[in-house]
Amino acid sequence: MDNQLEKFETWISKMFANRLKKEVCYHNLNHTKQVVKKVKEIAEYYKLGEVEQEELFYSGWLHDVGYWDGEADGHEARGAQLTQEWLTEYGLSQERIDVIKSAILATKVPQNPQNLLESIICDADLYHLSSGKFYEQTILLKQERENIINEDLDMADWLKGSQTFMLSHHYHTDYAKEYLQPGKEKNLELLKDKIKVAEAQSGKKPKG
């Protein structure tokens, strides 16, 4: 890895440790590292050049820093502001910073990426929908939301909300459509079963 990128990775990892609220148990360093790994994987699939890969590297590391204070709403815009500040200090040109900020803003749901780089980070950010660890990640998201609002959420309602989100979501890159979509479809089937169990445990009658 380039010295500057390695230095940035070390610095931003320490920032996560020092500034991320403990309530934020999903959008944390582990999730961020997964996104960085996936943007690299997809970028290599498309044989992107060094500059584009570096911009995806920064975008991956910075896409959720707006979550650090525990507020979900507007975190993409806050992350873009922090990116402007930090990468200016790091010596990146404004042109490159704008590319990185646009990629971060593109992850806002509903996603609407305008180019390949934005499509790549959007798909990497929602990689977990296709993952073998999907269900535990969904439960971790539920825990994070409960931590932030200081309120318990009904499991069946949460899972049905996850199902609605997954059905409305689509991957953007051909890579994700080929390699991630099959896993997502399996997880949708899993979710159906988990919803039935959760409804039975809560005494709710299944709809339909």
Share of the chain above pLDDT 70, in %: 97
pLDDT at 187: 98
For residues 70 and 181, the model is more confident at 181
pLDDT at 2: 81
141 burial level (CB within 10 Å; 0-12, 13-18, 19+): middle
Give the torsion sign (CA, 44, 45, 49, 51). Answer: negative
Sequence-separated (6 or more) residues with CB below 8 Å from residue 152: 146
Confidence tier at 206 by pLDDT (50, 70, 90): low
Across the range 167-190, mean pLDDT stands at: 98
CB distance 46 to 94 below 8 Å: no
pLDDT at 202: 79
Whether 208 has a pLDDT exceeding 80, the answer reads no
Q: How many CB atoms lie within 10 A of CB 73?
A: 8
Domain spans in the chain, listed from the N-terminal domain onward: 1-119, 126-208
Half-sphere exposure of 69 (CA within 13 A, CB side): 9
Can you give the pTM of this predicted structure?
A: 0.94
Give the separation between CA 72 and CA 148, rounded to whole angstroms. Answer: 9
Half-sphere exposure of 167 (CA within 13 A, CB side): 9
23 burial level (CB within 10 Å; 0-12, 13-18, 19+): middle
Whether 82 has a pLDDT exceeding 60, the answer reads yes
CATH topology of domain 1-119: Hypothetical protein af1432 (1.10.3210)
Longest CA pairwise span in the chain (Å): 58
What is the per-residue pLDDT across 26-44, written as a single tens digit (0 to 9) for each? Answer: 999 999 999 999 999 999 9
Whether 70 has a pLDDT exceeding 90, the answer reads no
What is the per-residue pLDDT across 117-172, written as a single tens digit (0 to 9) for each? Answer: 999 999 999 999 999 999 999 999 999 999 999 999 999 999 999 999 999 999 99
pLDDT at 60: 98
